[in-house]
């Protein structure tokens, strides 16, 4: 694949970025925008076809992309992918820890032990595996940025997202800050993003259908991608610990009136 960086931006020039959940949604937007900012991007997700599609878009614009498909809930995936990244690029500068999931039958009365395990693995355990693997490299470099997609639901409890999703995302918020507590002496910065509703394919899992008009009012994938590029572009002495972001038309506020 092309080693040339996209000429449109240099904010992340020479940076090596690993994006999980990179085949769609926020991960796809972040990967494309980071590549346009000059980064070499490694794409991970369960399905290889969407990853190859994103990689093709990046390389068609003169960027560098590497596909490393895998299920992050498998405890061997993260260490395998990071080993591949180091073998090719020699370092890992930024982890966009974005892979996540939700289910339709999300009320407590509908949950089973299996669906609880699935949700915790998909939204928390896999994220932890990625952190452990990335930190092994970043500690040696005395530098690194980790950006985690949590959720508004991790801070504000409602019935919309479901208990397992809210619980796992709240834990991601705690995980991110413990990274800062333990790793700041190593020059490592961790940021957690807590977005309210985003117009992504995950909305299709909602028990109640979301209309096109409602989607248009939500945060867009590019909004999140731009935010991720901004955080990743900060100088090493800056840590953006947490960002809570919502659409101006916030349906949670609407219910308060």
* Residues labelled as active-site residues: 165
Separation CA 99–CA 73 (nearest Å):
10
* 3-state helix/strand/coil string of the chain: CCCCCCCCCCCCCCCEEEEECCCCHHHHHHHHHHHHCCCEEEEECCCHHHHHHHHHHHHHCCCEEEECCCCCCCCCHHHHHHHHHHHHHCCCCEEEECCCCCCCCCCHHHCCHHHHHHHHHHHHHHHHHHHHHHHHHHHHHCCEEEEEECCHHHCCCCCCCCHHHHHHHHHHHHHHHHHHHHHHHHCEEEEEEEECCECCHHHHHCCCCCCHHHHHHCECHHHHHHHHHHHHCCCCCCCCCEEEECCCCCHHHHCCC
Residue pair 47/72 in contact (Cβ under 8 Å)? The answer is no
């Amino acid at each position: 694949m092309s080693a040339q960086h996209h000429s449109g931006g240099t904010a992340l020039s020479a940076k090596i970025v690993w994006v999980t959940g990179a085949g769609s949604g926020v991960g796809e937007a972040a990967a494309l925008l980071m590549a346009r900012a000059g980064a070499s991007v490694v794409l991970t997700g369960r399905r290889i076809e969407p990853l190859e599609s994103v990689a093709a878009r990046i390389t068609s614009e003169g960027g560098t992309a590497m596909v490393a498909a895998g299920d992050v809930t498998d405890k061997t995936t993260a260490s395998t992918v990071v080993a591949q990244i180091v073998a090719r690029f020699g370092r890992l500068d930024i982890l966009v820890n974005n892979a996540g999931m939700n289910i339709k039958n999300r009320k407590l009365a509908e949950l089973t032990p299996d669906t609880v395990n699935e949700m915790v693995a998909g939204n928390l355990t896999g994220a932890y595996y990625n952190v452990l693997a990335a930190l092994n490299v970043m500690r040696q470099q005395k530098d690194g940025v980790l950006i985690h997609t949590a959720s508004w639901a991790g801070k504000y409890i409602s019935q919309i997202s479901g208990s397992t999703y809210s619980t796992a995302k709240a834990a991601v918020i705690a995980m991110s800050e413990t990274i800062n507590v333990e790793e700041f002496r190593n020059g490592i910065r961790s940021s957690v993003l807590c977005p309210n509703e985003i117009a992504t394919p995950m909305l299709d899992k909602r028990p109640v259908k979301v209309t096109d008009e409602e989607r248009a009012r939500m945060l867009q994938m590019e909004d999140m991608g731009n935010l991720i590029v901004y955080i990743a572009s900060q100088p090493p002495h800056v840590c953006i610990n947490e960002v809570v972001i919502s659409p101006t038309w916030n349906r949670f506020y609407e219910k308060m009136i």
